[in-house]
Amino acid sequence: MSPLWLLLGLLALTGVRASERLAEIDRPYLLRYQPTMRIVGRKYCMDPAVIAGVLSRESQGGNFVVDMDNVGNGIGVIQDPNFYPPTSWKSESWVSQKTEILTSKIKEIQTRFPTWTPDQYLRGGLCAYSKGPSFVRSNQDLNCDFCNDVLARAKYFKNHGF
């Protein structure tokens, strides 16, 4: 399928269906790194499907890595000022680094909002990962685009063996 037809087909999709389609496109690339995501997931108590969702969102499954600049002080593919690229972005150290950043954001949300549910912690952590820690001020801030997209992709990956 040509890139133009692919783009036109994706433009017709919105919301969860668009996220699922993008995850479907990224799945063949991410399958190669599924063992790494499982190892890292065990290390950080993070579902490998969520790790796959983040990697899919940030780098289209590894097809390319884009510098999205440091918009909102979030943590993008290569915008984290503390990010030191390993020899390969697909390495265990790279996946560990990204997952460690996400888990630190989740822990920060847990500290700030101790009465929230585990789902709210994950959503808050994803929003803080994307938009910076000051973005999440209440449970009204848990529906950022990044969070919704990553969770829709993660659900797709979970249903397809991750």
Distance CA 84, CA 106 (A): 22
Supply the range of the domain harboring residue 89: 13-159
In a domain, 22, yes or no: yes
In a domain, 53, yes or no: yes
Task: Assess contact for 70 and 82: CB atoms under 8 A.
Answer: no
- In tens, the pLDDT along 47-91 reads 999 999 999 998 765 554 444 444 444 444 434 445 444 445 568
pLDDT at 131: 92
In a domain, 4, yes or no: no
pLDDT at 6: 55
Q: What CATH number is attached to the domain comprising 61?
A: 1.10.530.10
Closest listed residue to residue 82, CA positions, set 100, 68, 65 = 100
| Other Cβ atoms within 10 Å of 39 Cβ, number | 14
Q: Which residues are catalytic?
A: 58
Closest listed residue to residue 75, CA positions, set 129, 121, 143, 134 = 129
Which tokens hold the place of 37? 């995501």
pLDDT at 13: 74
pLDDT at 90: 63
Ranges of residues in the chain with a pLDDT under 50 are 1-2, 4-5, 8, 64-81, 83-87
Task: Assess contact for 122 and 50: CB atoms under 8 A.
Answer: yes
In a domain, 86, yes or no: yes
What predicted TM-score, i.e. pTM, was given to this entire model? 0.77
In a domain, 123, yes or no: yes
What is the number of structural domains in the chain? Answer: 1
In a domain, 54, yes or no: yes
pLDDT at 94: 87
In a domain, 6, yes or no: no
pLDDT at 14: 80
